[in-house]
Structure 1
Amino acid sequence: MPDTSSSVLVLPGWQNSDADHWQTRWERRHGYRRVEQDDWQWPRRGDWMARLEEVLLAAPQPCWLVAHSLGCQLVAAWAAHTQQADRVRGALLVGPPDTEREDMPPQLHSWRPVPRRRLPFAATVVISTDDPYCAPQRAGTMAQDWGATLVVAGAVGHLNSESGLGDWDAGHQLLISLRTG
């Protein structure tokens, strides 16, 4: 089965990814497709999981997932409940937030608890040593629980537009490495 760019789905986090975010840049540069959610401001885990399932079932072939922030929690939650895990070949999970933290906004409370089940497909988790939404130790534990390879990108904040990553070629290389196994 061919492995084309159309088989890469982009999963933004809470409030979506803006025009300067590496996910948006990857869509423009590589032809990847964003999974649009009905509500980016008050994300409900069940709604987001249902939307991901719908998109994957409509895809002509198994997909690769590229998630950022809450999108990482979406992948873990979806994988823990779906009967369609074979629709995913692997996932690049960047900057997973710790939704169990006391200081998380009320919009994210439906994302508790953090899913801890091992993912049924290959995954790489990329974290920052100074992510304001998740301590490195917590992110490392999530990666371990999910059975994912952990990559520490250094002190680059939440790995978003404000991190100044631009096209983030190093991150894209991680996706290529994951895809080529």
Structure 2
Amino acid sequence: MKTSDTDILIVPGWSGSGPDHWQSRWVAKLSTARVVEQEDWHVPSRLWAERIVAAVRAATRPVVLVGHSCGVSAIAHAAEHLHPGEVAGAFLVAPAAERAKRDLPGMTPAFAAHRRETLPFRSVLIASSNDPYCTPDEAKELAEAWGSEFVDAGESGHLNTESGHGPWPDGLLRFAGFLRSLTAVPQRSIQG
């Protein structure tokens, strides 16, 4: 699959992605990428998942989700409402652990808890060995529960602007490889 064959839905985490964050840069660089907007970037809730489901169902090409931090959680929560075939794959980066999410202002308990079922689409989970918001063991446990391929990003912090990952060229290369590994799915095979 190529980027031009997909609708790339970018799902930022708590407080959204600033202009220098790699997700914002990808939206500017990739013509088929757009952000799944949330009503309030400071109040993560199951409503975030509803927005993802609506964006997936409005897509006209196979969907690839790209989540960071709490956006990864939102994708996992959305997955329980998505039918097989609605999403071609998910690129999940730097998940936030339940304990870290519980400490965020505005966090709802239902959103803080991680869904533990296999995702109904192919996924890769990339995590750092020194992420302050999720230990490597927690990230590996999530990858296993979700059926995601696990990628150790080494000592990379939270893989955000603050950790020096504004442009994140290695991430873009890995994303391109992930896209190439996906098989196209008929986007409207199941109407929601």
Moved more, 126-135 or 93-102: 93-102
1:84 maps to 83
Percent of matched pairs sharing the same residue: 37
Deviation, 1:102, is 8.4
1:44 corresponds to which letter in structure 2?
Answer: S
Q: Given the two structures, how large is their TM-score scaled by the length of structure 2? A: 0.86
Contact 2:65 2:90 in 1 (8 A): yes
Structure 1, gaps ≥5 residues long = none
TM-score normalised by L of structure 1: 0.91
Say whether the 8 Å CA contact 1:65–1:92 is kept in structure 2. Answer: yes
Over aligned residues, Cα RMSD in angstroms?
A: 1.9
Runs of 4+ in 1 over 4 A off after TM superposition: none
Query: Tell me, what secondary structure is at the counterpart of 1:66?
Result: strand
Is the Cα–Cα contact under 8 Å of residues 157 and 163 in structure 2 kept in the other structure? yes
User: 1:120–1:102: structure 2 CA closer, same or farther, 3 Å change rule?
Assistant: closer
Residue-by-residue CA offset, 1:126-167 (whole Å, 9 max, x unaligned)? 101111111111011001111111111111111111011232
How many corresponding residue pairs?
A: 179
What code does the residue aligned with 1:24 have? S
Show structure 2 runs of 5+ residues with no match: 182-192
User: Larger RCO: Structure 1 or Structure 2 (Cα < 8 Å, ≥ 6 residues apart)?
Assistant: 2
- Tell me if the contact between 1:5 and 1:30 (Cα under 8 Å) persists in the aligned partners: no
Map of 1:34 onto structure 2? 35
| Alignment-mate amino acid for residue 68 of structure 2 | H
Could you say if the C-alpha distance between residues 167 and 101 of structure 1 is closer, same or farther in structure 2, counting changes exceeding 3 Å? closer
